[in-house]
Amino acid sequence: MKDMHDTTPLVLTVAERLDDRGDIMRLTLTADGPLPEVTAGAHIDLLVDTPEGPLWRQYSLAGDPADRSAWRLGILRDPASRGGSIALHQLVKAGEKVHVEGPRNHFALDHSAQKTVLFGGGIGVTPMLAMAWELHAKGADFTLHYCTRSADRMAFADLIETAPFKDRIVVHHDDSAPLDLQAALPAPDAGTHIYVCGPAGYMDWVIQTAENAGHRQKNVHREYFSADVDASGETFEVVAAQSGITVTVGPDETIAKALAREGVKIEVKCEEGICGTCVTDVLEGEIDHRDQFLTEEEREEGEMICACCSRACSDRLVLDI
């Protein structure tokens, strides 16, 4: 089972802000001493003050995981977001303090792989850069495909041009040299692992193409930054076994909100089923998974649910809370 709730409160300093191409803001965060150890694929939860109130948002670490002097983020200014990225772009300045929890890693590399292929679409390249650093340090066989809309929207160009693994990075621009996915995918093999992060449509394309080509599902790893999730549905009952409380979850209510009404708190951050903060153990009942966080294997086991968005197929769910 994934490590769901390993969070450590931190107050960090924005040592540098760089507004890069593609509406991407790059932040360098530092502390008074060494930062906690991380591995590639890790993310942190960043507290964002918005006009509607404080929000927690998740951002992947993009720097060298071995460098504990700073954490580096790339944050896209997304006008379609729920306000977190826009608020950060407007408010964050060098020298300010930010509140952080983490790091957590639900997207770690499998170092038993004989070959690793990384696909980063737009802002989704951030965890891939950290993975490239870690794979390079281990002398692993890997390739990073970085896909952007156009050269003038390509962030992190300076890092890519100077990276010690720059010969392993292939850059693709949709308007001039788009990704030929069939050619980029290696032949299916038990020792070959594929990682993808980026816009949902891009990720679905890479995942489906890889699986259709014969790559094993468990060898195709993914991390969603956002998801369009419909959390509505039929009414059902939830029993909080440890608390001894039973609630009815209405058609337009989530499990987490229904339980909160009765004083049973499940921590929720992304509200889209992508970060894993709200994952709760299920003791009984059939789950209607709406998240993008759990793997297919974990869904089939039926022992965990993302309480921020998923629902029940059965009339009743019993949770270990």
Residue 297: strand, helix, or coil: helix
Report the predicted TM-score, pTM, of the whole model to 2 decimal places. Answer: 0.82
Chain center to CA of 44: 10
The closest of 192, 203, 281 to 242, measured between CA atoms, is: 281
Amino acid, single-letter form, for residue 88: L
Task: State pLDDT tens for residues 203-233.
Answer: 999 999 999 999 999 999 998 876 667 889 9
Confidence (pLDDT) at 72:
98
Helix (H) or strand (E) holding 154: none
Flag residues of the chain having pLDDT under 70.
1-8, 80-83, 226-228
Buried residues in 70-107 as b, exposed as e (16+ CB within 10 A): bbbbbbbbbeeebebbbbbbeebeeeeebebbbbbbbb
As a whole number of angstroms, the distance between CA 164 and CA 189 comes to 27
What totals of helices (H) and strands (E) does the chain contain, helices first? Answer: 7, 18
For 9-104, which CATH class?
Answer: mainly beta
Confidence (pLDDT) at 6:
47
Domain-by-domain residue ranges, the chain? 9-104, 115-224, 236-319
Confidence (pLDDT) at 82:
62
Report whether 84 contacts 50 (CB < 8 A). yes
Confidence (pLDDT) at 4:
39
For residue 161, count CB atoms less than 10 angstroms from its CB and return exposed for 0-12, middle for 13-18, buried for 19 or more: exposed
Q: Taking the domain 115-224, which CATH number applies?
A: 3.40.50.80
Tokens of 196: 């993808």
As a whole number of angstroms, the distance between CA 176 and CA 149 comes to 9
For residue 20, how many C-alpha atoms fall within 13 Å in the half-sphere facing its CB? 21
Report whether 149 contacts 122 (CB < 8 A). yes
The closest of 250, 239, 254, 249 to 320, measured between CA atoms, is: 239
Task: State pLDDT tens for residues 284-302.
Answer: 999 999 988 888 888 999 9
Strand partners, 10: 100
| φ and ψ of 137, to 5 deg | -65, -30
Report whether 202 contacts 174 (CB < 8 A). no
Torsion of CA 14, 47, 7, 80, to 10 degrees: -110
**Structure-token match 């489906």, residue found:** 208
Domain 236-319: homologous superfamily in CATH? Beta-grasp domain (3.10.20.30)
The closest of 135, 129, 134, 122 to 159, measured between CA atoms, is: 129
